[in-house]
Structure 1
Amino acid sequence: MTAASPSPAARALMPAIRAACLEAGQLALDLFRPGAQTAARTWSKAGGSPVTEADIGVDTFLHVRLAALLPEAGWLSEETADDRLRLSRRLVWVVDPIDGTRAYMAGSPDWAVCVALLDEGKPVLGVVHSPACDASYEALAGGGATRNGTAIRASAISDLARARLAGPKPMLDALARQQPFVAVDKIPSLALRLTRIADASIDAGLVSPDSRDWDLAAADLVLSEAGGRLSTADGGAVQYNRPTPVHGTLLAAAPGLVSPLQEAVQALRGTPGTG
């Protein structure tokens, strides 16, 4: 957890953000079908990734609600055309209306509504609300992290061989060829992959290249406030609100696993045939 106290402005906003995320989650739940295909209309965006009417509905709802709270803030969302005006704004909302759209479409509960507020490019408020999992994660910079209102901390494990790791199967398979660990089932939502490290459900995770700010910002704050860390493969800090909000390989881990995981991945990258 960061040493500074949360800003009064961010703390004052949290009840309204919590309420907006709960309402947004209910909008998505109305078209969600556990264990079955969604009732929502679906189509493919440019590039082939799927989208549903629930994604668009939640995005529109949150855009209206959050803009009313902070009219001066910029906006960055998976389902809204990028407005580069955000680059000149101190405050920026970063939103993923449904992180894990494919899971949502297939009836898996592993999807979430994600909202973060950036201040000078750093997350200061984050909510990851997963209504189908009955889990709401919240964090304020300097104020700790919670799951359903209860404080959470990442695990104290420091032995990578005993650590529970989640991530894309090709990355886990490559790592397993040189480093033992306990692989866990795929978590379709990247945000939930990070928050489950934050609440010690798992211990670490790998993130393949091409994740976006909206996949990460809210969950990154939850993880850091729970004592864990999200970093680049070489240990650098994750940067937000850049002209192109796309990231390379990232590592997420409980505090005792940050260095061991980084060393293992760096060794892997130096192995012939692994890139």
Structure 2
Amino acid sequence: MPERDLALLIEAAAEAAAIAMRYWRSEQSVWHKAGGAGPVSEADFAVDAYLRERLGKARPDYGWLSEETEDGTARLSARRVFVVDPIDGTRAFVAHERTWALSLAVVEDGAAIAGVVQLPAMGRLYTASRGAGARLDGKPISVTEGRGRLDGARVLASRSVLEPELWRHGVVPPFRREFRPSLAYRMCLVAEGRHDAMLTHRPAWEWDIAAGTVIAREAGAVVTDRHGAPLRFNTPEARADGVIAGPPATHAALLRALAP
């Protein structure tokens, strides 16, 4: 079943990417969500509408959770659920940058079992299904060997992780912080072995991390919330309490360094 779902996600992502590219670098309407939740564009809605129709027709018994669809309780009774972010990194998208992604996943009984993260403007397609490994453009990928110390580790995170109060004894480890707008892309860069880990201490929406979770995990990463607990999906609040992803040794080093 995960392999069949992955094939469906790949097919749907290809057309959704084409829709998004028609809007990218064009004149389109952009709105700002309440509460400082960020922008949403015409492209977000167009991609969301396509995916909901395409995937819903293919798997009518699956639930649906998307950033751009009003949420409800029906998904909570479904065993399998599509978890989708039509455009992860909308700020980058509307700024005509390339580091935005489409993030599509299938969740079964709370666990991500198939995922696609596509970066149309960069020509990259990350895929994974449970037990079958992770791939970039069809080629297997894996995490770095990992390190038990954080000195010089390349960690993808926002600037806010440098606040001393987040770290044990107020000491920020000497890692090299880098940033990408899309959380899904950050998780895939860890899966690909281009970075040692990713970390967000803030609550993370499930649609931002579901596909990246299965891709990173299948590439050999440990993926948990910021306290080290396994991630669960299709929860009522649809959010995780932060995310840490990295090879086992690096993940453990980050967990040890963070303040309780």
TM-score (norm 2): 0.93
Q: Any stretches of 5+ residues in structure 2 without a counterpart? A: none
The AA in structure 1 aligned to 2:107 is: L
Question: Residue deviations 1:96-150, cap 9 Å, x none?
Answer: 0000000101111111111100111111110001111211100000110000100
Q: Distance in 2 between matches of 1:181 and 1:121?
A: 32
Relative to 1, partners in 2 of residues 1:50 and 1:178: Cα closer, same or farther, differing over 3 Å?
A: closer
Is 1:233–2:222 an aligned residue pair? no
Residue in 2 that maps onto 1:156: 145
1:11 matched residue in structure 2? 3
Which residue pairs with 2:110 in the alignment?
121
Rounded to whole Å, the distance in 2 between the matches of 1:238 and 1:171 is: 20
Distance 1:236 1:80 in 2: 28
The residue type equivalent to 2:188 in the other structure is T
Between the aligned partners of 2:210 and 2:242, the Cα distance in structure 1 is 15
Q: 1:171 aligns with which of 161, 167, 174?
A: 161
Contact 1:168 1:208 in 2 (8 A): no
1:253 counterpart = 2:246: yes
Q: Secondary structure at the match of 2:117?
A: strand
Runs of 4+ in 1 over 3 A off after TM superposition: 172-178
1:199 aligns with 2:192: yes
The DSSP-based 3-state class of the residue aligned with 1:162 is: coil
Q: Are the aligned partners of 1:75 and 1:83 in contact in 2 as well (CA < 8 Å)?
A: no
Cα distance in 2 for residues equivalent to 1:17 and 1:234: 31
- What is the TM-score normalised by the length of structure 1? 0.88
**CA–CA distance in structure 1, aligned partners of residues 171 and 209 of structure 2:** 28
* Separation in structure 1 between the aligned mates of residue 234 and residue 124 of structure 2, nearest angstrom: 27
Q: In the alignment, what sits opposite 2:207?
A: 214
Tell me the C-alpha RMSD between the 2 structures. Answer: 1.5
Contact 1:154 1:255 in 2 (8 A): no
Distance (whole Å) between structure 2 residues aligned to residue 112 and residue 249 of structure 1 = 20
Asked if structure 1 preserves the Cα contact closer than 8 Å seen for 2:200 and 2:226, the reply is no
Kindly state the Cα deviation for residue 13 of structure 1 after the two structures are TM-superposed: 3.1
**In the alignment, structure 1 residue 102 sits paired with structure 2 residue 95:** no
Please name the residue that 2:177 is paired with: 183
Shift of 1:173: 5.0
Secondary structure (helix, strand or coil) at the match of 1:47 reads helix
Q: CA deviation at 1:63?
A: 0.2
Distance 1:177 1:218 in 2: 32
